Chain A
Amino acid sequence: MEIEERIREVFNSVFDDRGIPRVDMNDQSVLDSSLGLESMDFAIIVVKLEEEFGFDPFAEGIPDGVRTYGDLVKLYTQQQSVN
Protein backbone atom coordinates (compact mmCIF):
# COMPACT_ATOMS: atom_id res chain seq x y z
CA MET A 1 0.00 0.00 0.00
CA GLU A 2 1.19 3.52 -0.79
CA ILE A 3 2.38 5.65 2.12
CA GLU A 4 -0.40 8.16 1.52
CA GLU A 5 -3.05 5.43 1.73
CA ARG A 6 -1.61 4.12 5.00
CA ILE A 7 -1.63 7.62 6.46
CA ARG A 8 -5.21 8.16 5.26
CA GLU A 9 -6.28 4.92 6.96
CA VAL A 10 -4.83 6.12 10.26
CA PHE A 11 -6.69 9.43 9.91
CA ASN A 12 -9.90 7.56 9.11
CA SER A 13 -9.51 5.34 12.16
CA VAL A 14 -9.25 8.45 14.34
CA PHE A 15 -12.25 10.08 12.63
CA ASP A 16 -14.19 6.86 13.29
CA ASP A 17 -13.02 6.59 16.91
CA ARG A 18 -14.07 10.16 17.56
CA GLY A 19 -17.42 9.57 15.87
CA ILE A 20 -16.96 12.43 13.40
CA PRO A 21 -17.42 12.26 9.63
CA ARG A 22 -14.39 11.28 7.59
CA VAL A 23 -12.92 14.17 5.63
CA ASP A 24 -11.72 13.64 2.09
CA MET A 25 -8.40 15.39 2.57
CA ASN A 26 -6.25 16.80 -0.16
CA ASP A 27 -2.70 18.15 -0.08
CA GLN A 28 -3.93 21.61 0.90
CA SER A 29 -6.08 20.47 3.87
CA VAL A 30 -4.82 22.24 6.98
CA LEU A 31 -4.29 19.88 9.91
CA ASP A 32 -6.31 21.80 12.47
CA SER A 33 -9.86 22.06 13.69
CA SER A 34 -11.11 22.55 10.12
CA LEU A 35 -10.89 18.74 9.86
CA GLY A 36 -12.82 18.39 13.11
CA LEU A 37 -9.62 17.29 14.85
CA GLU A 38 -8.19 18.68 18.09
CA SER A 39 -4.56 18.79 19.17
CA MET A 40 -5.12 15.57 21.15
CA ASP A 41 -6.30 13.84 17.97
CA PHE A 42 -3.19 14.92 16.14
CA ALA A 43 -1.08 13.48 18.97
CA ILE A 44 -2.95 10.17 18.59
CA ILE A 45 -2.43 10.16 14.82
CA VAL A 46 1.33 10.64 15.29
CA VAL A 47 1.48 7.74 17.77
CA LYS A 48 -0.53 5.50 15.43
CA LEU A 49 1.66 6.47 12.50
CA GLU A 50 4.68 5.49 14.59
CA GLU A 51 3.10 2.08 15.14
CA GLU A 52 2.39 1.86 11.38
CA PHE A 53 5.79 3.00 10.08
CA GLY A 54 8.11 2.31 13.02
CA PHE A 55 9.41 5.87 13.29
CA ASP A 56 8.27 9.24 14.61
CA PRO A 57 9.48 12.24 12.60
CA PHE A 58 8.25 14.49 15.44
CA ALA A 59 10.43 12.83 18.08
CA GLU A 60 13.01 15.61 18.02
CA GLY A 61 10.33 18.32 17.96
CA ILE A 62 7.85 19.46 15.37
CA PRO A 63 9.63 20.30 12.11
CA ASP A 64 8.88 23.71 10.64
CA GLY A 65 6.51 23.89 7.72
CA VAL A 66 4.20 20.97 8.54
CA ARG A 67 0.77 22.54 8.32
CA THR A 68 -1.12 20.62 5.69
CA TYR A 69 -1.94 17.02 4.90
CA GLY A 70 0.39 17.26 1.88
CA ASP A 71 3.23 18.44 4.16
CA LEU A 72 2.64 15.47 6.46
CA VAL A 73 2.64 12.89 3.65
CA LYS A 74 5.84 14.42 2.29
CA LEU A 75 7.47 14.27 5.72
CA TYR A 76 6.69 10.55 6.18
CA THR A 77 7.70 9.76 2.60
CA GLN A 78 11.07 11.44 3.11
CA GLN A 79 11.67 9.71 6.47
CA GLN A 80 10.64 6.34 5.05
CA SER A 81 13.26 6.63 2.31
CA VAL A 82 15.95 7.43 4.91
CA ASN A 83 15.02 4.51 7.19
Chain B
Amino acid sequence: MPLHESRQQVDPVLPMVVTPDAIFTWGQVSDLVQAYRSSLNALSKKRVGLPFHADGYGVAVLSALYELECNIFLLPFHSTDDYLQEIAQKFELAAIVKVSVNATDQPQYQATDTFNAKAESQPGLTILTSGTTGTPKAARHSLESLAKPTRVHPSFLQTSWMLCYRPNLYAGLQVILQCLVNGGQLVVTAPDSSAQLIAQHAVNAGVQYASATPSYWRWLLTFAPRAILSQIPFKQITLGGEIVDQHILDRLASLYPDARLVHIYATTELGRCFSVTDKQAGFASKFLDQPSPDGVSMKIENGELMVKSANAMLNYDPLCGQQCDQSEWYATGDLVKQENGRCYFLGRRNDMINVGGNKVSPVKVEDVIMKLPGIEDVRVFARKSSIMGQLVSCEIVPNADVDQKALRQQFKAHCAEYLNDYETPQLLKFVEQIQTSSAMKKVRSS
Protein backbone atom coordinates (compact mmCIF):
# COMPACT_ATOMS: atom_id res chain seq x y z
CA MET B 1 0.00 0.00 0.00
CA PRO B 2 1.31 3.46 -0.68
CA LEU B 3 1.43 4.13 3.01
CA HIS B 4 4.94 5.45 2.69
CA GLU B 5 3.53 8.98 2.63
CA SER B 6 1.71 8.40 5.91
CA ARG B 7 4.75 6.59 7.28
CA GLN B 8 6.91 9.60 6.54
CA GLN B 9 4.46 12.03 8.09
CA VAL B 10 3.55 10.23 11.30
CA ASP B 11 5.82 10.24 14.33
CA PRO B 12 7.51 6.80 14.22
CA VAL B 13 7.00 6.19 17.93
CA LEU B 14 3.20 6.35 17.62
CA PRO B 15 1.21 3.11 17.56
CA MET B 16 0.07 1.93 14.12
CA VAL B 17 -1.41 -1.52 14.77
CA VAL B 18 -2.69 -2.57 18.19
CA THR B 19 -3.54 -6.23 18.75
CA PRO B 20 -4.58 -7.72 22.11
CA ASP B 21 -0.98 -8.96 22.51
CA ALA B 22 1.22 -6.38 20.86
CA ILE B 23 1.64 -2.81 19.70
CA PHE B 24 3.43 -2.09 16.43
CA THR B 25 4.63 1.49 16.00
CA TRP B 26 4.78 3.32 12.68
CA GLY B 27 8.58 3.15 12.91
CA GLN B 28 8.61 -0.62 13.49
CA VAL B 29 6.27 -1.28 10.57
CA SER B 30 8.34 1.02 8.30
CA ASP B 31 11.48 -0.93 9.18
CA LEU B 32 9.66 -4.21 8.47
CA VAL B 33 8.48 -2.91 5.07
CA GLN B 34 12.05 -2.06 4.11
CA ALA B 35 13.32 -5.47 5.20
CA TYR B 36 10.48 -7.31 3.46
CA ARG B 37 10.92 -5.37 0.23
CA SER B 38 14.45 -6.64 0.09
CA SER B 39 13.68 -10.27 1.00
CA LEU B 40 10.65 -10.48 -1.33
CA ASN B 41 12.29 -8.66 -4.23
CA ALA B 42 12.21 -11.73 -6.50
CA LEU B 43 8.41 -11.47 -6.51
CA SER B 44 8.40 -7.97 -8.00
CA LYS B 45 5.62 -7.50 -10.59
CA LYS B 46 4.34 -11.06 -10.12
CA ARG B 47 0.98 -12.48 -9.13
CA VAL B 48 1.25 -13.58 -5.51
CA GLY B 49 -1.15 -15.01 -2.94
CA LEU B 50 -1.14 -13.58 0.58
CA PRO B 51 -3.05 -15.24 3.43
CA PHE B 52 -3.60 -11.95 5.22
CA HIS B 53 -3.70 -11.19 8.93
CA ALA B 54 -3.87 -7.50 9.81
CA ASP B 55 -1.21 -7.35 12.52
CA GLY B 56 1.95 -5.29 12.08
CA TYR B 57 3.69 -8.04 10.13
CA GLY B 58 0.73 -8.55 7.82
CA VAL B 59 0.35 -4.83 7.10
CA ALA B 60 4.09 -4.60 6.47
CA VAL B 61 4.19 -7.50 4.04
CA LEU B 62 1.13 -6.17 2.20
CA SER B 63 2.81 -2.76 1.89
CA ALA B 64 6.07 -4.32 0.72
CA LEU B 65 4.36 -6.41 -1.97
CA TYR B 66 2.39 -3.39 -3.12
CA GLU B 67 5.53 -1.32 -3.39
CA LEU B 68 7.07 -4.18 -5.40
CA GLU B 69 4.17 -3.71 -7.85
CA CYS B 70 2.77 -7.19 -7.33
CA ASN B 71 -0.78 -8.23 -8.11
CA ILE B 72 -1.67 -9.41 -4.60
CA PHE B 73 -4.41 -12.02 -4.27
CA LEU B 74 -5.73 -11.57 -0.74
CA LEU B 75 -6.69 -14.86 0.89
CA PRO B 76 -8.17 -15.85 4.26
CA PHE B 77 -5.39 -16.12 6.82
CA HIS B 78 -6.43 -19.56 8.04
CA SER B 79 -6.48 -21.23 4.63
CA THR B 80 -5.68 -24.90 4.22
CA ASP B 81 -2.70 -25.90 2.08
CA ASP B 82 -5.08 -27.61 -0.34
CA TYR B 83 -7.05 -24.39 -0.81
CA LEU B 84 -3.89 -22.33 -1.30
CA GLN B 85 -2.61 -24.81 -3.87
CA GLU B 86 -5.94 -24.79 -5.70
CA ILE B 87 -6.00 -20.98 -5.86
CA ALA B 88 -2.33 -20.83 -6.89
CA GLN B 89 -3.01 -23.17 -9.80
CA LYS B 90 -6.25 -21.57 -10.88
CA PHE B 91 -4.83 -18.05 -10.91
CA GLU B 92 -1.28 -19.01 -11.94
CA LEU B 93 0.24 -17.37 -8.89
CA ALA B 94 4.04 -17.22 -8.75
CA ALA B 95 4.12 -17.73 -5.00
CA ILE B 96 2.21 -17.87 -1.75
CA VAL B 97 3.67 -15.54 0.87
CA LYS B 98 3.25 -16.62 4.47
CA VAL B 99 3.79 -14.60 7.60
CA SER B 100 3.39 -16.41 10.88
CA VAL B 101 1.43 -14.71 13.63
CA ASN B 102 3.81 -12.95 16.03
CA ALA B 103 6.62 -13.70 13.58
CA THR B 104 10.04 -12.36 14.25
CA ASP B 105 11.65 -13.81 11.14
CA GLN B 106 11.32 -12.75 7.54
CA PRO B 107 8.13 -13.78 5.75
CA GLN B 108 8.48 -17.03 3.87
CA TYR B 109 7.28 -17.52 0.37
CA GLN B 110 6.62 -20.71 -1.39
CA ALA B 111 7.22 -20.56 -5.13
CA THR B 112 4.66 -22.50 -7.13
CA ASP B 113 4.77 -24.48 -10.36
CA THR B 114 3.56 -21.33 -12.09
CA PHE B 115 6.38 -19.09 -10.82
CA ASN B 116 7.26 -18.14 -14.40
CA ALA B 117 3.73 -18.19 -15.80
CA LYS B 118 2.90 -15.43 -18.21
CA ALA B 119 -0.55 -14.53 -16.91
CA GLU B 120 -1.25 -10.81 -16.94
CA SER B 121 0.20 -9.15 -13.86
CA GLN B 122 -0.92 -5.57 -13.50
CA PRO B 123 -0.21 -4.20 -10.02
CA GLY B 124 -3.17 -4.22 -7.70
CA LEU B 125 -5.10 -5.97 -4.99
CA THR B 126 -7.31 -8.84 -6.07
CA ILE B 127 -10.20 -9.78 -3.79
CA LEU B 128 -11.83 -13.19 -4.09
CA THR B 129 -15.58 -13.26 -3.65
CA SER B 130 -17.78 -16.32 -3.44
CA GLY B 131 -20.11 -16.80 -6.38
CA THR B 132 -23.31 -18.77 -6.53
CA THR B 133 -21.50 -21.75 -8.01
CA GLY B 134 -18.83 -21.68 -5.33
CA THR B 135 -16.20 -20.66 -7.92
CA PRO B 136 -14.57 -17.50 -6.64
CA LYS B 137 -14.79 -14.34 -8.66
CA ALA B 138 -11.58 -12.36 -8.54
CA ALA B 139 -12.07 -8.60 -8.49
CA ARG B 140 -8.93 -6.56 -9.13
CA HIS B 141 -8.77 -3.11 -7.62
CA SER B 142 -6.03 -0.55 -7.79
CA LEU B 143 -5.12 1.06 -4.54
CA GLU B 144 -6.45 4.27 -5.98
CA SER B 145 -9.88 2.73 -6.59
CA LEU B 146 -9.90 1.22 -3.10
CA ALA B 147 -8.77 4.43 -1.46
CA LYS B 148 -11.08 6.72 -3.44
CA PRO B 149 -13.98 6.53 -0.95
CA THR B 150 -11.72 7.11 2.05
CA ARG B 151 -11.97 10.47 3.72
CA VAL B 152 -8.66 12.15 4.47
CA HIS B 153 -8.78 14.93 7.00
CA PRO B 154 -6.37 16.31 9.61
CA SER B 155 -8.98 15.64 12.31
CA PHE B 156 -8.52 11.89 11.68
CA LEU B 157 -4.79 12.04 12.49
CA GLN B 158 -3.95 9.55 15.26
CA THR B 159 -7.56 8.46 15.64
CA SER B 160 -8.26 4.89 16.65
CA TRP B 161 -10.15 2.48 14.34
CA MET B 162 -11.32 -1.00 15.23
CA LEU B 163 -11.22 -3.69 12.54
CA CYS B 164 -14.22 -6.03 12.83
CA TYR B 165 -14.29 -7.35 9.25
CA ARG B 166 -12.11 -10.01 7.68
CA PRO B 167 -9.10 -8.06 6.39
CA ASN B 168 -8.86 -9.89 3.06
CA LEU B 169 -12.25 -8.62 1.90
CA TYR B 170 -13.37 -5.23 0.58
CA ALA B 171 -14.94 -3.92 3.80
CA GLY B 172 -11.90 -4.86 5.90
CA LEU B 173 -9.52 -3.21 3.44
CA GLN B 174 -11.62 -0.05 3.55
CA VAL B 175 -11.25 0.16 7.34
CA ILE B 176 -7.50 -0.47 7.14
CA LEU B 177 -7.03 2.18 4.45
CA GLN B 178 -9.31 4.75 6.04
CA CYS B 179 -7.38 4.41 9.28
CA LEU B 180 -3.82 4.27 7.99
CA VAL B 181 -3.90 6.90 5.24
CA ASN B 182 -4.94 9.27 8.01
CA GLY B 183 -2.05 8.21 10.23
CA GLY B 184 -4.39 6.51 12.68
CA GLN B 185 -4.00 3.42 14.81
CA LEU B 186 -5.65 0.19 13.71
CA VAL B 187 -7.10 -1.84 16.56
CA VAL B 188 -7.28 -5.52 15.68
CA THR B 189 -9.27 -8.04 17.70
CA ALA B 190 -8.67 -11.75 17.99
CA PRO B 191 -11.30 -13.62 15.96
CA ASP B 192 -12.26 -15.96 18.81
CA SER B 193 -12.55 -13.29 21.51
CA SER B 194 -15.63 -12.99 23.67
CA ALA B 195 -17.76 -9.87 23.32
CA GLN B 196 -16.58 -8.69 26.72
CA LEU B 197 -12.89 -8.97 25.79
CA ILE B 198 -13.46 -7.12 22.52
CA ALA B 199 -15.30 -4.32 24.29
CA GLN B 200 -12.57 -4.11 26.92
CA HIS B 201 -9.89 -4.05 24.18
CA ALA B 202 -11.80 -1.20 22.49
CA VAL B 203 -11.93 0.74 25.77
CA ASN B 204 -8.24 0.18 26.47
CA ALA B 205 -7.24 1.24 22.94
CA GLY B 206 -9.56 4.26 22.98
CA VAL B 207 -11.43 3.17 19.85
CA GLN B 208 -13.28 6.09 18.26
CA TYR B 209 -14.33 4.56 14.93
CA ALA B 210 -15.58 1.08 14.15
CA SER B 211 -17.30 -0.56 11.21
CA ALA B 212 -19.06 -3.93 11.33
CA THR B 213 -22.06 -5.84 10.08
CA PRO B 214 -25.41 -5.41 11.87
CA SER B 215 -25.07 -9.01 13.10
CA TYR B 216 -21.76 -8.16 14.72
CA TRP B 217 -23.19 -5.10 16.45
CA ARG B 218 -26.16 -7.12 17.72
CA TRP B 219 -23.78 -9.70 19.13
CA LEU B 220 -21.49 -7.13 20.75
CA LEU B 221 -24.33 -5.15 22.30
CA THR B 222 -25.98 -8.27 23.64
CA PHE B 223 -23.02 -10.03 25.19
CA ALA B 224 -20.67 -7.30 26.34
CA PRO B 225 -21.57 -5.69 29.67
CA ARG B 226 -23.18 -2.31 29.23
CA ALA B 227 -20.81 -0.80 31.80
CA ILE B 228 -17.85 -1.59 29.52
CA LEU B 229 -19.60 -0.80 26.23
CA SER B 230 -20.59 2.65 27.45
CA GLN B 231 -16.93 3.51 28.06
CA ILE B 232 -15.92 3.11 24.39
CA PRO B 233 -15.36 6.67 23.17
CA PHE B 234 -17.07 6.19 19.79
CA LYS B 235 -17.23 9.18 17.49
CA GLN B 236 -18.56 7.17 14.56
CA ILE B 237 -20.19 3.76 14.20
CA THR B 238 -20.53 2.27 10.75
CA LEU B 239 -22.69 -0.64 9.61
CA GLY B 240 -22.51 -2.50 6.30
CA GLY B 241 -22.52 -5.85 4.52
CA GLU B 242 -26.12 -6.75 5.37
CA ILE B 243 -29.50 -5.08 5.49
CA VAL B 244 -29.47 -2.52 8.29
CA ASP B 245 -32.72 -2.54 10.26
CA GLN B 246 -34.13 0.28 12.33
CA HIS B 247 -33.89 -1.62 15.58
CA ILE B 248 -30.10 -1.96 15.55
CA LEU B 249 -29.76 1.69 14.53
CA ASP B 250 -31.97 2.71 17.45
CA ARG B 251 -30.06 0.56 19.92
CA LEU B 252 -26.73 2.02 18.85
CA ALA B 253 -28.14 5.55 18.89
CA SER B 254 -29.48 5.01 22.40
CA LEU B 255 -26.16 3.69 23.76
CA TYR B 256 -24.01 6.20 21.88
CA PRO B 257 -26.16 9.32 21.49
CA ASP B 258 -23.22 11.53 20.50
CA ALA B 259 -21.73 9.19 17.88
CA ARG B 260 -22.30 9.62 14.16
CA LEU B 261 -24.16 6.57 12.82
CA VAL B 262 -23.43 5.61 9.23
CA HIS B 263 -24.63 2.72 7.15
CA ILE B 264 -22.85 1.96 3.94
CA TYR B 265 -23.84 0.18 0.77
CA ALA B 266 -20.83 -1.33 -0.96
CA THR B 267 -19.93 -4.46 -2.90
CA THR B 268 -16.59 -5.96 -3.83
CA GLU B 269 -17.19 -5.25 -7.50
CA LEU B 270 -18.78 -1.80 -7.25
CA GLY B 271 -16.84 -0.50 -4.28
CA ARG B 272 -18.55 1.91 -1.96
CA CYS B 273 -21.78 3.23 -3.50
CA PHE B 274 -23.41 5.39 -0.87
CA SER B 275 -23.73 5.98 2.85
CA VAL B 276 -26.68 7.02 4.98
CA THR B 277 -26.23 9.21 8.04
CA ASP B 278 -29.76 10.11 9.16
CA LYS B 279 -30.02 7.13 11.55
CA GLN B 280 -32.93 5.71 9.53
CA ALA B 281 -33.08 2.32 7.75
CA GLY B 282 -33.07 2.33 3.93
CA PHE B 283 -32.01 5.34 1.89
CA ALA B 284 -33.66 8.44 0.46
CA SER B 285 -35.23 7.90 -2.97
CA LYS B 286 -33.61 11.15 -4.10
CA PHE B 287 -30.30 9.22 -4.23
CA LEU B 288 -31.72 7.75 -7.44
CA ASP B 289 -32.30 11.12 -9.10
CA GLN B 290 -28.77 12.09 -10.06
CA PRO B 291 -25.21 10.79 -9.82
CA SER B 292 -23.52 11.33 -6.45
CA PRO B 293 -20.58 13.76 -6.23
CA ASP B 294 -18.16 10.81 -6.23
CA GLY B 295 -19.60 9.34 -9.39
CA VAL B 296 -22.17 6.71 -8.40
CA SER B 297 -25.43 6.43 -10.36
CA MET B 298 -28.32 4.22 -9.29
CA LYS B 299 -31.69 3.16 -10.59
CA ILE B 300 -34.28 0.50 -9.80
CA GLU B 301 -35.26 -1.94 -12.52
CA ASN B 302 -37.77 -4.72 -11.91
CA GLY B 303 -37.39 -4.10 -8.21
CA GLU B 304 -33.60 -4.61 -8.31
CA LEU B 305 -31.00 -1.98 -7.52
CA MET B 306 -28.79 -1.22 -10.54
CA VAL B 307 -25.55 0.74 -10.13
CA LYS B 308 -22.76 2.36 -12.11
CA SER B 309 -19.88 3.24 -9.83
CA ALA B 310 -16.70 5.27 -10.19
CA ASN B 311 -15.39 3.34 -7.17
CA ALA B 312 -15.73 0.01 -8.97
CA MET B 313 -12.99 -2.55 -9.42
CA LEU B 314 -10.72 -2.27 -12.47
CA ASN B 315 -11.79 -5.65 -13.86
CA TYR B 316 -12.31 -9.29 -13.05
CA ASP B 317 -9.11 -11.27 -13.27
CA PRO B 318 -9.00 -12.85 -16.75
CA LEU B 319 -8.50 -16.31 -15.21
CA CYS B 320 -11.69 -16.28 -13.12
CA GLY B 321 -13.89 -16.62 -16.19
CA GLN B 322 -16.04 -13.58 -15.42
CA GLN B 323 -16.45 -10.44 -17.44
CA CYS B 324 -17.86 -7.08 -16.57
CA ASP B 325 -18.46 -4.06 -18.78
CA GLN B 326 -17.93 -1.04 -16.56
CA SER B 327 -19.92 1.21 -18.89
CA GLU B 328 -23.08 -0.89 -18.34
CA TRP B 329 -25.45 -0.84 -15.38
CA TYR B 330 -24.49 -3.51 -12.84
CA ALA B 331 -27.35 -5.60 -11.45
CA THR B 332 -26.66 -5.84 -7.72
CA GLY B 333 -29.06 -8.71 -7.03
CA ASP B 334 -30.52 -6.65 -4.16
CA LEU B 335 -34.27 -6.17 -4.22
CA VAL B 336 -35.58 -2.78 -3.16
CA LYS B 337 -39.03 -1.31 -2.51
CA GLN B 338 -39.89 2.39 -2.50
CA GLU B 339 -42.20 3.81 0.13
CA ASN B 340 -42.84 7.44 1.09
CA GLY B 341 -39.71 8.81 -0.54
CA ARG B 342 -37.48 6.10 0.91
CA CYS B 343 -35.99 2.89 -0.54
CA TYR B 344 -35.81 -0.24 1.60
CA PHE B 345 -33.84 -3.42 0.90
CA LEU B 346 -35.91 -6.60 0.74
CA GLY B 347 -33.19 -9.18 0.29
CA ARG B 348 -31.25 -10.91 -2.43
CA ARG B 349 -32.69 -11.83 -5.76
CA ASN B 350 -30.90 -15.14 -5.70
CA ASP B 351 -30.99 -17.67 -2.96
CA MET B 352 -27.65 -17.19 -1.33
CA ILE B 353 -27.97 -17.58 2.42
CA ASN B 354 -26.52 -14.72 4.46
CA VAL B 355 -25.25 -15.93 7.82
CA GLY B 356 -24.14 -12.86 9.72
CA GLY B 357 -22.67 -11.32 6.55
CA ASN B 358 -21.12 -14.55 5.23
CA LYS B 359 -22.69 -15.73 2.01
CA VAL B 360 -23.45 -19.42 1.68
CA SER B 361 -24.37 -21.19 -1.49
CA PRO B 362 -27.04 -23.83 -0.72
CA VAL B 363 -26.09 -25.68 -3.88
CA LYS B 364 -22.48 -26.00 -2.76
CA VAL B 365 -23.52 -27.25 0.69
CA GLU B 366 -25.91 -29.77 -0.85
CA ASP B 367 -23.14 -31.03 -3.11
CA VAL B 368 -20.91 -31.63 -0.10
CA ILE B 369 -23.64 -33.38 1.91
CA MET B 370 -24.60 -35.65 -0.97
CA LYS B 371 -21.06 -37.06 -0.94
CA LEU B 372 -21.84 -38.65 2.44
CA PRO B 373 -23.03 -42.26 2.07
CA GLY B 374 -26.52 -43.16 3.28
CA ILE B 375 -28.31 -40.09 1.97
CA GLU B 376 -31.10 -40.13 -0.58
CA ASP B 377 -31.70 -36.43 -1.00
CA VAL B 378 -31.06 -33.14 0.73
CA ARG B 379 -32.47 -29.63 0.75
CA VAL B 380 -30.43 -26.74 2.09
CA PHE B 381 -32.27 -23.52 2.70
CA ALA B 382 -32.28 -20.36 4.75
CA ARG B 383 -33.97 -20.38 8.15
CA LYS B 384 -34.77 -16.86 9.32
CA SER B 385 -32.88 -15.97 12.46
CA SER B 386 -33.51 -12.88 14.55
CA ILE B 387 -29.88 -13.04 15.72
CA MET B 388 -27.83 -13.89 12.59
CA GLY B 389 -30.22 -12.78 9.87
CA GLN B 390 -30.32 -16.30 8.48
CA LEU B 391 -29.08 -19.74 9.44
CA VAL B 392 -28.32 -22.67 7.17
CA SER B 393 -30.97 -25.33 7.61
CA CYS B 394 -31.20 -28.68 5.93
CA GLU B 395 -33.56 -31.58 5.45
CA ILE B 396 -32.17 -34.98 4.64
CA VAL B 397 -33.94 -37.99 3.25
CA PRO B 398 -31.92 -40.92 4.61
CA ASN B 399 -31.68 -44.29 2.93
CA ALA B 400 -34.26 -46.68 4.32
CA ASP B 401 -31.80 -48.95 6.12
CA VAL B 402 -29.61 -46.28 7.65
CA ASP B 403 -29.09 -45.74 11.40
CA GLN B 404 -30.13 -42.10 11.82
CA LYS B 405 -28.20 -41.54 15.04
CA ALA B 406 -24.97 -42.73 13.42
CA LEU B 407 -25.73 -40.71 10.29
CA ARG B 408 -26.11 -37.56 12.38
CA GLN B 409 -22.63 -38.10 13.84
CA GLN B 410 -21.13 -38.80 10.41
CA PHE B 411 -22.85 -35.71 9.06
CA LYS B 412 -21.21 -33.51 11.69
CA ALA B 413 -17.74 -34.91 11.02
CA HIS B 414 -18.21 -34.69 7.25
CA CYS B 415 -19.33 -31.04 7.38
CA ALA B 416 -16.50 -30.11 9.74
CA GLU B 417 -14.05 -31.52 7.20
CA TYR B 418 -15.45 -30.01 4.02
CA LEU B 419 -17.34 -26.83 4.97
CA ASN B 420 -16.55 -23.58 6.75
CA ASP B 421 -18.28 -23.18 10.13
CA TYR B 422 -20.75 -20.64 8.77
CA GLU B 423 -21.65 -22.94 5.84
CA THR B 424 -22.39 -25.94 8.02
CA PRO B 425 -26.12 -26.54 8.45
CA GLN B 426 -26.97 -25.66 12.03
CA LEU B 427 -30.42 -27.21 11.91
CA LEU B 428 -30.88 -30.72 10.61
CA LYS B 429 -34.07 -32.71 10.21
CA PHE B 430 -34.62 -36.15 8.73
CA VAL B 431 -37.67 -36.17 6.47
CA GLU B 432 -39.39 -38.65 4.19
CA GLN B 433 -39.64 -36.30 1.24
CA ILE B 434 -38.05 -33.06 0.00
CA GLN B 435 -40.40 -30.13 -0.49
CA THR B 436 -40.55 -28.82 -4.05
CA SER B 437 -42.31 -25.94 -5.77
CA SER B 438 -44.82 -26.36 -8.59
CA ALA B 439 -41.90 -26.02 -11.01
CA MET B 440 -40.31 -28.99 -9.25
CA LYS B 441 -37.51 -26.91 -7.82
CA LYS B 442 -36.32 -27.19 -4.27
CA VAL B 443 -37.92 -24.55 -2.12
CA ARG B 444 -35.19 -22.37 -0.67
CA SER B 445 -37.20 -20.57 1.97
CA SER B 446 -38.07 -22.13 5.32
**In the assembly, what is the distance between CA of A61 and CA of B215, in Å?**
11
Q: How many Å from the CB of A13 to the closest CB on chain B?
A: 11
B387 touches A32 (CB 8 A): no
**Residue in B221, B225, B385 whose CB lies within 8 Å of A43:** B385
Give residues 12-65 of A contacting B (CB, 8 Å): 17, 19, 30-34, 39-40, 42-44, 46-48, 56, 58-62, 64
**Residue in B355, B386, B422 whose CB lies within 8 Å of A58:** B386
Q: How many Å from the CB of A43 to the closest CB on chain B?
A: 4
Type the 1/0 row for B245-265, where 1 means its CB is closer than 8 Å to any CB of A.
101101100000000000000
Give residues 354-378 of B contacting A (CB, 8 Å): 355-356
- Asked whether A67 and B387 contact (CB < 8 A) given A40-B422, A40-B426, A62-B218, the answer is no
A32 touches B196 (CB 8 A): yes
- Asked whether A62 and B385 contact (CB < 8 A) given A32-B194, A47-B391, the answer is no
Q: Does A66 contact B (CB under 8 A)?
A: yes
Point out the residues of chain A lying under 8 angstroms from B412, CB to CB.
17, 19
Q: Does B401 contact A (CB under 8 A)?
A: no
Point out the residues of chain B lying under 8 angstroms from A61, CB to CB.
218, 245, 247-248, 250-251, 386
B386 touches A32 (CB 8 A): no
B422 touches A32 (CB 8 A): no
Point out the residues of chain B lying under 8 angstroms from A67, CB to CB.
222-223, 225
B391 touches A43 (CB 8 A): yes
Q: Does B344 contact A (CB under 8 A)?
A: no
- Assign chain A's interface to a size class: 20 to 34
B223 touches A44 (CB 8 A): no
Central interface residue in A30, A32, A46, A60, by most chain B CB within 10 Å:
A32
**In the assembly, what is the distance between CA of A34 and CA of B245, in Å?**
29
A30 touches B385 (CB 8 A): no
A58 touches B225 (CB 8 A): no
Closest to A46 in B: B387
**Interface residues on chain B, number (Cβ under 8 Å):** 28
Q: How many Å from the CB of A68 to the closest CB on chain B?
A: 11
A39 touches B245 (CB 8 A): no
- Asked whether A47 and B194 contact (CB < 8 A) given A62-B221, A62-B387, A66-B222, the answer is no
Point out the residues of chain B lying under 8 angstroms from A39, CB to CB.
215, 219, 223, 356, 387-388
**In the assembly, what is the distance between CA of A33 and CA of B195, in Å?**
8
Q: How many Å from the CB of B4 to the closest CB on chain A?
A: 39
Q: How many Å from the CB of B396 to the closest CB on chain A?
A: 15
A44 touches B391 (CB 8 A): yes
Central interface residue in A19, A40, A46, A67, by most chain B CB within 10 Å:
A40
Give residues 108-126 of B contacting A (CB, 8 Å): none
B223 touches A32 (CB 8 A): yes
Central interface residue in A39, A59, A60, by most chain B CB within 10 Å:
A39
Point out the residues of chain B lying under 8 angstroms from A17, CB to CB.
412
A47 touches B383 (CB 8 A): yes
Point out the residues of chain A lying under 8 angstroms from B222, CB to CB.
31, 42, 62, 66-67
Point out the residues of chain A lying under 8 angstroms from B385, CB to CB.
43, 46-47
6 extra A-B contacts, CB within 8 A, seeds A56-B386, A62-B386, A62-B387:
A31-B223, A39-B388, A43-B387, A47-B391, A48-B427, A61-B248
A-B pairs, 5 with minimum CB distance: A61-B247, A43-B387, A58-B386, A33-B194, A32-B223
**Interface positions of A (Cβ within 8 A of B):** 17, 19, 30-34, 39-40, 42-44, 46-48, 56, 58-62, 64, 66-67
**12 interchain pairs, CB-CB under 8 A:** A19-B412, A31-B223, A32-B195, A40-B426, A43-B391, A44-B426, A46-B385, A47-B385, A47-B426, A62-B222, A67-B222, A67-B223
